[in-house]
Amino acid sequence: MAYKIVPALTYFYDSYHTCITLENIPKQLPIDHKYTRMDANGNTRFRIVKTYVRQIQFDQFTSKSYIAAPTMYNAKIYTSDEAIISNILNDSVLSTKIKTIQQPINQTHLDLLKKNDRKIILRDKLWYNQYKHKLSSHYILDNLPKDPKFVFKWIYENFPSGSSRRVSVSGGYSGHQAWRRGLSSIPTVFTNNEETAMLFKLSFSDNIKIKFETCICLKELES
The residue among 105, 128, 143 that closes a domain is: 105
The answer to whether residues 93 and 151 belong to one domain is no
Residue 164's pLDDT is 96
| CA proximity to 35, closest of 93, 77, 66 | 77
Taking the C-alpha atoms of residue 43 and residue 48, their distance in angstroms, rounded to an integer, is 15
The residue among 80, 105, 130 that closes a domain is: 105
CB of 212 closer than 8 Å to CB of 112: no
The answer to whether residues 44 and 95 belong to one domain is yes
Taking the C-alpha atoms of residue 98 and residue 198, their distance in angstroms, rounded to an integer, is 38
Q: Which residues does residue 134 pair with via DSSP β-bridges, in sequence order?
A: 190, 213
Asked whether residue 111 is domain-assigned, the answer is: no
* Residue ranges for the chain with pLDDT beneath 50: none
**H or E segment to which residue 210 belongs:** strand 208-217
CB of 8 closer than 8 Å to CB of 112: no
Residue 221's pLDDT is 64
The answer to whether residues 147 and 96 belong to one domain is no
188-191 β-sheet, strand order: 119-123, 208-217, 133-139, 188-191, 164-167
Asked whether residue 113 is domain-assigned, the answer is: no
Taking the C-alpha atoms of residue 127 and residue 164, their distance in angstroms, rounded to an integer, is 11
**H or E segment to which residue 83 belongs:** helix 82-90
Number of domains in the chain: 2
Whether this model's pTM surpasses 0.75: no
Range of the domain at 208: 119-222
The answer to whether residues 149 and 90 belong to one domain is no
The answer to whether residues 83 and 137 belong to one domain is no
The answer to whether residues 86 and 144 belong to one domain is no
Residue 67's pLDDT is 62
Residue 180's pLDDT is 62
Residue 68's pLDDT is 64
The residue among 105, 139, 156 that closes a domain is: 105
Q: Quick check: helix, strand or coil at residue 55?
A: coil
CATH no. for residue 207? 3.30.70
Taking the C-alpha atoms of residue 222 and residue 195, their distance in angstroms, rounded to an integer, is 26
